[in-house]
Structure 1
Amino acid sequence: MPKENSNEWPLNDAFGICRQTILPVYRKPTVDSALVTQLLFGECYQVLAVTEDRTWYRIFNEDSRIGGWISSKSIKEINSLDYQKFLNQDYQIVTSPIAAIEYMGTNVYLLPGSRLHFSDLELFNWQDHIGFTGSVRSHAIKADRDQLVDIALKYINAPWQPGGRSIFGVDEQLGFALIYSIAGYTWNSVYLPGRIIPINHVKPGDLIIFHHQYSNQDHFGIYLGMEEVLWMDNKMKVSDLNEWETYLKNQKSEEVVFTARSVFKKDG
């Protein structure tokens, strides 16, 4: 039975996986709705409901803790065992700006953050086996500071796009969360990554947060070293740390707070 006062039918134990380059997720079951987020190739989701005409499915991505609607044309169902395996076992995560994989007899282009569910423990050369070109890293191995900075710098000049998660258009919070995810660290809509550190103790790869107390809004930057920070304006850009702080303070007349977080060990 459909949910009361709703045009959607609930689904139980239904799961899916993204099998296209980018999968848009909308706030409402219409392409005129706002873009909530995007899924990348290999990312999995729970399927929670379907519209009465079965043209839209409401999904939830466990990694990001974000849900929304996708078109029925994009649904690729998997069983619950595969879903749990894909979430809990190691996988390869794409790091090159553009990669490609042979899938269903044709090439699918992959963006940074896309997932290939093959572990470093596989007994065959999975890259040759699936016709993959590009660079990847094992998600189970945490990136060090230099590696995280290298991942972050691939997003320089990516334009601002609400809900975007790619080098062709990126949402501020989703974009920074994706960078840390590629590096092997958890950042979702509920929890920020790592631990709080003194702002004057930041090292390359640490996250700097500009919090606007009146509107309860955050802006993010990744410290790159040499007094430089990667941040989002109308695009991802690198600026002098002091210039960035001054710019943000001038944009907000109300009280603001700078904090910092690190995902690395205290001696890292």
Structure 2
Amino acid sequence: MKFGICTLALVPLRLEQAHRSEMVSQVLFGELFEILDEEADWTSIRLLDTDYLGWIQNGQFQKLDGLDMQHYLTGKPSIVGRAGGVLSTDTAQFQLCHGTKLYLTGENTMNFPSLKLTYQGDINPFSKNQFQSQVAQLALSYKNTPYLWGGRSQWGIDCSGFSQLIYSCFDLSLPRDAYQQAEMGQTVDFISEIKVGDLAFFDNVEGRITHVGIMLDRDMIIHASAKVRVDRMDTEGIFNAELNRYSHKLRIVKRYL
């Protein structure tokens, strides 16, 4: 097996090996992947954390052998906090977005092959036992973030990227897409039993789950639709007051903790 690691803050993951191809997701700095196929300008990869597949442009990552990867992972896993931070080398620096996972030594450096990297900035403070008390506040901090198909950051995010990112800050791992997330967790049978942080899923006219949002309480949901927004939800689905109609049809509510 061949492995690689993303060496830029945030890069597109394409459906096919072309800039015009659909961006199915994004790869954040430090994310590890298996290299499946190599072309002249593009490489087909499988992300190790989520098994997600796509094409990344050559020059946006560094190849790793097994020993280099294990050495990198000896650092303490840390997540960049909401205020973000800066990663520096001897000659350059770049901004890291919230949710980026780093493996840091005691000096806030990384065991990275052939390159010294130092992180300065915010570190995510949350753990699983703070989920109920803090998830709503963290999710609300993304309000008005623009919707971006395949997006995973405060600079543009899609619905399942939003739920995945917020959950990751509480050490809760979710797959990338809404339909995959809906296959996990425990079903919440009644609207009256909804708790903060539960995920609500919505289907299209063909019955396919295509949307997800995070419940703030029994009646209100935060989700990415044109932008990250807060709307009312009932047994029918999400009611968009601006449009004066239901925008998404409720399929199921799931709990993960």
Checking the alignment, whether the CA contact within 8 Å between 1:44 and 1:86 is kept in structure 2 is no
Counterparts of 1:68-217 in structure 2, within 5 Å, are: 68-83=54-69, 91-118=77-104, 124-126=106-108, 130-137=118-125, 141-142=127-128, 143-188=130-175, 189=177, 190-192=180-182, 193-198=184-189, 199-212=191-204, 214-217=206-209
1:79 to partner: Cα distance: 1.8
TM-score normalised by the chain length of structure 2: 0.81
**Structure 2: which 5+ runs fail to align?**
110-116
**Aligned length, in residue pairs:** 240
Question: Compared with structure 1, are the counterparts of its residues 31 and 44 closer, same or farther at alpha carbon in structure 2 (3 Å cutoff)?
Answer: same
Are 1:32 and 2:14 matched, yes or no? no
Deviations 1:106-160 (A, max 9, x none): 2220101111102xxx5x3437x9341123247xx42422232233223211111
1:97 to partner: Cα distance: 4.0
SS of 1:76's equivalent? Answer: strand
Q: Distance in 2 between matches of 1:132 and 1:107?
A: 10
Counterparts of 1:253-264 in structure 2, within 5 Å, are: 256-264=249-257
Please give the root-mean-square deviation of Cα atoms over the aligned residues, in Å.
Answer: 2.8
Are 1:221 and 2:213 matched, yes or no? yes
Higher strand share: 2
**Structure 1: which 5+ runs fail to align?**
1-12
Q: Distance in 2 between matches of 1:75 and 1:209?
A: 34
Q: Distance in 2 between matches of 1:262 and 1:249?
A: 27
Q: Distance in 1 between matches of 2:70 and 2:252?
A: 35
TM-score normalised by the chain length of structure 1: 0.78
Q: Distance in 2 between matches of 1:215 and 1:85?
A: 45
SS of 2:82's equivalent? Answer: coil
1:86 to partner: Cα distance: 5.9
| Aligned sequence identity (%) | 25
Q: Partner residue of 2:6?
A: 18
Q: 2:246 aligns with which of 237, 250, 253?
A: 250
1:103 to partner: Cα distance: 2.9
Kindly provide the amino acid, as one letter, of the partner of residue 263 in structure 1. Answer: Y
1:31 to partner: Cα distance: 0.5
Deviations 1:147-198 (A, max 9, x none): 3223322321111111111111112222222221232112114444432222
1:81 to partner: Cα distance: 3.6
Q: Distance in 2 between matches of 1:241 and 1:70?
A: 38
Q: Distance in 2 between matches of 1:47 and 1:221?
A: 32
User: Comparing 212-221 with 33-42, which one deviates more in the overlay?
Assistant: 212-221
